[in-house]
Chains A and B, each alone.
Chain A
Amino acid sequence: MRTKRYLGLVLLITLALIAAPTAKHSNNAVKPVSAEGETIKVYTSWPLTGGTQAVGDSMLKAAELALAQYEEDHDGAGPAGFNVEIVGLDDASPTTGAWDGTIEAENAQRCVNDAECMVYFGTYNSGAAKVSMTITNEAGIAQISPANSYAGLTRACETCAEGEPDIYRPSGEVNYFRTNGTDDFQGPADAAWSYCLGFEKVYILDDTQAYGKGLADEFERHAEEVGLEVVGRASVESTDVDFRALLTDVLASGADLVFGGFVLDSGGPQVIQQMNELGLFEEGIYFMGPDGMASPALFDQIGGAEIANDYVYISFPGPLPSTLESEKGVRFYEGYVDTYDEEPDPYAVYAYQSMAVILDSIERAGVADRAAILEAMRSTTDFEGLSATFSFDENGDATVSGFYGYAVGDDTFIDGTLITPNMNETCEVATD
């Protein structure tokens, strides 16, 4: 009798311990227990080590800020009363310092195997998304990206591979969403922008990856249409650091612009550095890079912004964090700087925005059910983001995505202008 009663007590205590909400955010430890008290986990997956660590860390901080600010607005309660927990996973390999398909697959599988994981939040690299999308799609889990810009992930496009995007959707359903713009918009917009900046001959480089090469292909396709001459095209091994022979070829080609489809850890910084070192900038050859290089970390990696000043252009899917004007945008920027005492990475904007979409979807679904949350996310309409109000179209893309072009000057990104693929029709071509 006695033993039985003790056993019951032990069991009760154990159950209570399991059910008790785990302390997560030290900064809001006094959070009241929600009505249901149930936990919903959001697994994030992007590089937290390696060359893009600075970006990844900032995105994770932004996601946590989005959650904290949401709870602040709802008297400390999470969406629909759930405790939302962010589980930050790393998809970079410690040996290469770059994203790794095997690790990404494991991360997605971990979410699938965790009954509390309702949303898979990632990836940063488009190539990694190709791996995880099929896994989350089969499991019927909503996946949302803070950064993927390869067009083929959501819809067929001219330079996409055959069968895209259906090959990523084995179930036939759309379960993948993104709040940022895509390369098939960015590449052409960059091409039109180059034309408006007064460039005539362009040499195109890429890092052979889904993102970099896809972008370079889109740029090349549109370059001829806007009246730019493509004088060279080359791919580089993303771990190489010595591009002098290639840049000699660029110098000989007569190009006045190098367009580089790179991210921070795939050679972009070295190309800028060695263009300066070999005197290409002095010869009047400029560099233009995409959003994958739009981070203050770029300046650290090239050894100081001064070598890039006046010779480097970078595009980004939206205004940079410090230039956000909407009420939400300002609140994000100020909240980030207050909380973390540092400037947010440009991609933190999208991490914050995508996290806000996740929380909104959970709120509208109202239940801890993968299918219901996926359905809620799919029907996101007129969502007020940081720079624009958008909905998801039938492919999972945000309906509004404006790209901005920045020049590097005064050791930072300056002169942000809205760029579009057809801006060449109306712009005044700069002459210098």
Chain B
Amino acid sequence: MSIDNQVFLQNVIIGLTVGGYLALIALGYTMVYGIIELINFAHGDLFAFGFFISLTIFAKINPDIPLHGANLYLLLPGVAILTMLLTGSLNLAIDQIAYRPLRKAPRLAPLLTAVGVSFMLEAIYAIWKGPSQVPYPRYFPKEDYINNEKVISFFSKLGLDITTWRIVSFTTKDLFLFSVTIPLVIALTLFIDRTRVGKAMRACAQDREAAMMMGINVNRIIATTFFTGGALAGVAGMVWGLYINSGRFTMGFEAGLMAFTSAVLGGIGNIRGAVLGAFIIGMIKAMSDSYIGSEWTRVVIFGILILMLVFRPSGILGSTQSIEKL
């Protein structure tokens, strides 16, 4: 395979990994918007919280680096679940303290508190972990599948000599990222489509008052939404930390903006739309970084956001509620 094709293939892999973690964050934006029509600007910072809290838990346990054996198969999922519980609870608490009292206030009020919560969280992270880059130790064992003999012989049977693929790498870390993000995305979609609580969530999204009159405990449904959204962002933060090994107190802001754009692109309030949007944004980011120049990436991504809002505010797959109503 020519160098150019290898670069393209590698960028596809990078785009998919970016899309994977953005999808988990975008889901939280879109779920909350679907139910209470609030753009939760603090949502990105929960992603950062997932990064920092999982880092703290790992540091307390202090396992051997890289993880192996029982640590890999038991400790890692354990830390992931604990991170999800803590991040979910934080999001729940934020809703109860900062948004719930404003449920009936004009829509600008909770939007402003959301921005306030975001700044507050970032300042707390800066005090907690310091304002510099925070390294995330390389806990996850890394091995490149392209250099793996079995993989090489498998591909040679297909007539492909991958030993010359100098540019392409697909490692255990990439596989780990996909094996966490994709099942979670599917699980959430099934949860909303197939379960009673999911049905209640959809009912609340369509018409909160009607849902209340039908006997649905709307406050509990909203709480469930915040908890689930927070847990997904939290685990995304942890996975991203294990994957990229570096973060910073402002990382949530950056990721949040990208994820928000993904949600709008797919159709805000639409679960499948958020996932689709995230993978599209991830792919655009990788391609733009490589082919246009990374200083242009934000111009491209936020240009798409603006074009989308102007020409197709309901997004690719259609929004439950058009964002025009903001």
Contacts and interface: CB of A to CB of B under 8 A. Distances in A.
Contacts of A264: 132-133
B296 to A, nearest CB: 9
A28 interface: no
A304 B246 CA distance: 12
Given A245-B289, A251-B167, A301 B14 contact: no
Nearest to B21: A242
Nearest to B136: A303
Contacts of A297: 132
Contacts of B131: 49-51, 53, 97
Contacts of B285: 242, 245
Interface in B195-251: 244-251
Interface centre among B123, B126, B137 (most CB of A within 10 A): B126
Interface stretch (B3-11, B270-278, B308-316): B3-11
A252 B165 CA distance: 11
Contacts of B248: 51, 97, 241
Interface in B127-166: 130-133, 135-138, 142, 144, 166
B294 A245 contact: yes
Contacts of B167: 248, 251-252
A210 to B, nearest CB: 15
Contact of A94 (B3, B123, B246, B247): B123
A241 B247 contact: yes
A94 B123 CA distance: 7
A279 interface: yes
A73 interface: no
A248 B11 contact: yes
A51 B135 CA distance: 13
B67 to A, nearest CB: 16
A279 B167 CA distance: 9
A315 B248 CA distance: 26
Interface string A252-293: 100000000000110001100110011100010000000000
Contacts of A394: none
Contacts of B6: 252
B119 interface: yes
Nearest to A241: B246
B18 interface: yes
Given A50-B131, A94-B126, A236-B295, A303 B138 contact: yes
A285 to B, nearest CB: 11
B250 A303 contact: no
A160 interface: no
Nearest to B297: A237
A236 B297 CA distance: 9
A393 interface: no
Nearest to A303: B135
Contacts of B4: 252
Contact of B245 (A94, A96, A277): A277
A54 B132 contact: yes
Nearest to A97: B131
Contacts of B177: none
Contacts of A94: 123, 126
Contact of B132 (A235, A240, A301): A301
Contacts of A241: 244, 246-248, 251, 254
A53 B142 CA distance: 32
Given A94-B123, A235-B294, A236-B295, A270 B11 contact: no
Interface residues of B, number: 45
B63 to A, nearest CB: 16
A421 to B, nearest CB: 28
Contacts of A50: 131-132
Given A94-B126, A235-B293, A235-B295, A300 B135 contact: yes
A407 to B, nearest CB: 22
A95 B119 contact: yes
A252 B250 contact: no
Given A208-B295, A236-B295, A303-B138, A252 B7 contact: yes
A242 B298 CA distance: 13
Given A235-B293, A246-B289, A273 B246 contact: yes
A323 interface: no
A4 B298 CA distance: 71
Nearest to A302: B135
A159 interface: no
A233 to B, nearest CB: 9
B113 interface: no
A413 to B, nearest CB: 19
A252 B244 CA distance: 21
B122 interface: yes
A245 B285 CA distance: 8
A237 B126 CA distance: 21
Interface string A118-143: 00000000000000000000000000
Contacts of B130: 53
Contacts of B137: 303
A13 B122 CA distance: 47
B286 interface: yes
A248 B7 contact: yes
A237 B169 contact: no
A243 B119 contact: no
B60 to A, nearest CB: 18
A248 B254 CA distance: 22
Contacts of A235: 293-295
Given A236-B294, A273-B135, 11 more contacts: A51-B133, A235-B293, A237-B295, A241-B244, A246-B289, A265-B133, A269-B246, A279-B169, A297-B132, A301-B133, A304-B135
28 contacts: A49-B126, A50-B131, A50-B132, A51-B248, A96-B250, A97-B131, A97-B132, A97-B248, A237-B295, A239-B250, A240-B254, A240-B294, A241-B246, A241-B248, A243-B289, A245-B11, A245-B285, A245-B286, A248-B11, A249-B7, A251-B166, A252-B3, A252-B4, A252-B7, A264-B133, A273-B246, A301-B135, A302-B246
Interface of B: 3-4, 6-7, 10-11, 14-15, 18, 119, 122-123, 126, 130-133, 135-138, 142, 144, 166-167, 169, 244-251, 254, 285-287, 289-290, 293-295, 297-298
Nearest first, the 8 A-B pairs at minimum CB distance are A303-B135, A245-B289, A301-B133, A235-B295, A245-B290, A245-B286, A50-B131, A252-B7
